[in-house]
Structure 1
């Protein structure tokens, strides 16, 4: 009997990535990301000659939170990916809910980042320079403060709209992943979709400014997909509660009605800590 033909392994990038690989591939744990607040495991996933690096966050490794139901963070990460895909902007890496070595959890494509794209900065000035948006002043030691700014970048602006829709309570600088190909991804969406307003982000630079025409068109598309029999409603129903889906609809309606980026409510800390 001849030896079976060896299928060459092909490393998968975002362009060739499919949910099938993440959902059906064999997960092999390579190590733990110790900086993560919840259990986050660096893995490889392999299926039918394809292979990719990924992050696996088992539900069993989630720390309880006072304002989110226990054991729901993985589902919220997948729900954020569903909304991102519905926008057409592709701002969240491919993400699925699946079984793994430590039980059910979130599995997300690993994104290789580039250090050449500067998105955040601290500047010794009262106002940002052209090409930058002010976030606020931060203490930098010895009684001094500096202006924290983010780039006036259309990719960040799209992410700011997505965060407003999903009610992201933790958009930190470390959750922004620029790639060498010019893409920008946002990660760590476990604390999203709360029915109460909890938007907390570094991307306040456009607060109160008119939404772009592109954003308005995207929001109209989301509104349609969030109808009772809409495709996005169907995806979210398996991941978050009916009340939370209603809150998504309400946030989309509020954005379309105002036509502007949201502003801090004053009822919740506007900027996450630590910010990066």
Structure 2
């Protein structure tokens, strides 16, 4: 699959109109093998006030490389290559689980008095019909691992729609273009574990990641993000290891909300 995504001919099937940046559903084909993927050309990236222009594709790739180095498989196969509209990020398309058939989702909105067992509340809100609801997510180990990953990569946009579950039971995180900033910018809907301890297994993997960044893997990351951003990543890993608990959201400090909008 990696070879097809890297070298195959990209055929555009359509555009994802709801995406913030130009995003195209494509087929990559080579030697009769076809892989469905998402292609995000750099020239279609919307300028942001706090991230340098033209850097989102490289951040998508850096997030994938970090996920792979951890061995967690959170980010689908991602690379940067030429496409129909120039250089851009190309990522394996994940066919999401049919939640209606399975009867279980990972994130959702519920009446405040009807939160299911095994779900963790994140915030309360009021709908346009004046109904009070609670945003919650499942107390699921696969989601918890994504929450730890987001701490490491400083994910500024973990919406509910950026978490996908496939038919094999794997849970993926997508859309990592606004990650790895040197300043703390964590914005996520996965706050349900706030104050809880991070597992020893995750901490052991983070120790290994920190050592890898101090070596050849760090040099690889510096081809994608700045020295300062690599240093900030190491600092975040050390902070987690020194205080191995999920952080609590902080609101009202500066322009960054702890929860992305819209949350889904």
TM-score by length of 2: 0.94
Give, in whole Å, the separation in 2 of the partners of 1:127 and 1:165: 33
The verdict on how the C-alpha distance between 1:127 and 1:234 changes in structure 2, with shifts beyond 3 A counting, is farther
The verdict on how the C-alpha distance between 1:128 and 1:224 changes in structure 2, with shifts beyond 3 A counting, is farther
Give, in whole Å, the separation in 1 of the partners of 2:220 and 2:158: 23
- Asked if the contact 1:170–1:201 (Cα under 8 Å) also holds between the matched residues in 2, the reply is yes
Give, in whole Å, the separation in 2 of the partners of 1:119 and 1:186: 12
By how many angstroms is 1:239 displaced? 0.6
- Asked if the contact 1:171–1:202 (Cα under 8 Å) also holds between the matched residues in 2, the reply is yes
Gaps of 5+ in 1: 1-16
**Could you tell me which of 46, 58, 65 is aligned with 2:29?**
46
The 3-state SS of whatever aligns with 1:141 is coil
Give, in whole Å, the separation in 2 of the partners of 1:248 and 1:75: 15
Structure-1 residue corresponding to 2:216: 230
By how many angstroms is 1:70 displaced? 0.3
The 3-state SS of whatever aligns with 2:144 is helix
Matches within 5 A, 1:128-147: 128-147=115-134
Structure-1 residue corresponding to 2:225: 240
**2:79 aligned with 1:96:** yes
By how many angstroms is 1:161 displaced? 0.4
The 3-state SS of whatever aligns with 2:127 is strand
By how many angstroms is 1:126 displaced? 5.7
Structure-1 residue corresponding to 2:261: 273
Matches within 5 A, 1:49-60: 49-60=32-43
Give, in whole Å, the separation in 2 of the partners of 1:143 and 1:125: 13
Give, in whole Å, the separation in 1 of the partners of 2:234 and 2:171: 25
Matches within 5 A, 1:145-224: 145-224=132-211
**2:258 aligned with 1:258:** no
Structure-2 residue corresponding to 1:11: none
Give, in whole Å, the separation in 1 of the partners of 2:216 and 2:149: 18
Structure-2 residue corresponding to 1:249: 234
TM-score by length of 1: 0.90
